[in-house]
Chain A
Amino acid sequence: MNKFAEYVIKRRWLIVTAILLITIFFGYQITNLQINSDIITSLPDDDPAAKLFKEIGTEFGGNDMGMIVLETNDIFDAEVIDHIRIITDSVRFTQGVSSVTSLTNILDIKSSEWGIEIGKLVDEYDLPTTREELDSLKAYVLSKEMYKGAIVSDNATASAILFTLLPDADNQVVAKEIKTKVEKLDIPEKLYFGGLPMMMNEINNLIISDIVRLIPIIFIVLLVILWLSFRSFRNALLPLLTAGISVIWTLGIMSVTGYELTIITNIIPVVLLAVGSAYTIHVLNSVSHTLNHDKRQAVIKALGYVTIPVILAALTTAIGFISFVFGSYLLMIKDFGIFTAAGTLIALLLSLTFVPAFIFVFSNKNSNKNEVDNEEKKTFLTHRILLPLSRLLFKHPKYTLGAWILLLLIFIIGIFQLETSVNMADYFKRDNPTRVAEEMMQEKFGGSLPIFVVFKGDMQSPEVLQMMIKTENFLKDDPNVSVAQSVADLIEQMNDAMGEGRRIPDDKAKIEQLWFLLEGQEVMPQLVNDDLTKGVIQSKFASVDSKDIEAFTEKMNRFMAENNNANCQIELTGMPSVYVKLNSSLINSQYNSLLIAIIMVVLIVGAILQSFLKGIYAAIPVIATIVVLFGFMGVTGIPLDIATVLVASIALGIGIDYAIHVITGFNHYLTENGDAEKSIESVILSSGKAIVINVFSVSAGFLVLLFSQIVPLQNFGLLVAISMFGSGFGALTLLPIILILVNRKRKITANNHQHLNLKK
Chain B
Amino acid sequence: MKTNFRTAVLTVLIGAGTVCSAVAQDATTILQKMDEVMYSQKDMTGKNKIILIDKAGKQEIREATIQQKGTDKRMFRFTAPASQAGIAFLSLPGDVMYMYLPAFGRERRIASSAKNQNFAGTDFSYEDMESVPFSQKYTPKLIKTETDAFVLELTPKVRSDFSKVTVSIHKEHFYPILMEYYDRGGNKVKEAKYTFKKIGNYWNPAEIEMTDLKKGHTTKMQMTDVKYDTGLSDDAFTVRALVQ
Residues of A within 8 A of B (CB): 89, 92-95, 114-120, 123-125, 497-500, 507, 509-510, 512-514, 516-517, 519-521, 530
Contact = CB atoms under 8 A, between A and B. Distances in A.
A202 to B, nearest CB: 25
A512 B84 contact: yes
B197 interface: no
A93 B185 contact: yes
Interface in B37-93: 54, 58, 83-84, 87
Interface string B108-149: 111111100111111000000000000000000000000000
Most B CB contacts (10 A, CB to CB) among A93, A513, A521 go to A513
Given A498-B101, A509-B83, A514-B101, A520 B117 contact: yes
Contact of A116 (B83, B103, B109): B109
Given A507-B103, A513-B83, A519 B120 contact: yes
A512 B83 contact: yes
A265 B109 CA distance: 60
Contacts of B110: 115-118
A125 B120 contact: no
Main secondary structure of the interface of B (DSSP, over half): loop
Contact of A117 (B58, B112, B183, B185): B112
A748 B215 CA distance: 86
B187 interface: yes
B58 A115 contact: no
Nearest to A115: B109
Contact of B111 (A119, A507, A514): A119
Place the interface of chain B in its size category: 20 to 34
A497 B122 CA distance: 23
A577 B120 CA distance: 36
A92 B162 CA distance: 13
7 contacts: A116-B108, A117-B110, A119-B111, A120-B114, A123-B114, A509-B103, A516-B84
B84 A513 contact: yes
Contacts of B109: 114-116
B5 interface: no
B117 A119 contact: yes
Contact of A119 (B83, B103, B114): B114
B184 interface: yes
A498 B98 CA distance: 12
Most B CB contacts (10 A, CB to CB) among A118, A507, A514 go to A118
A493 to B, nearest CB: 13
Given A116-B108, A119-B113, A516-B84, A125 B159 contact: yes
A115 B100 CA distance: 11
B114 to A, nearest CB: 5
B84 A520 contact: no
A93 B188 CA distance: 11
Contacts of B118: 519-521
B240 interface: no
Nearest to A97: B214
Contacts of B120: 516-517, 519-520
A521 B120 CA distance: 9
| 8 residue pairs, one from A and one from B, having the closest CB atoms | A93-B185, A519-B121, A115-B109, A119-B113, A520-B118, A509-B103, A117-B111, A520-B121
A351 B204 CA distance: 83
A114 B239 CA distance: 13
B99 A517 contact: yes
A89 B121 CA distance: 23
B58 A530 contact: yes
Contacts of B112: 117-119
Nearest to B84: A516
Nearest to B185: A93
A520 B99 CA distance: 17
Contacts of A124: 114
A119 B95 CA distance: 14
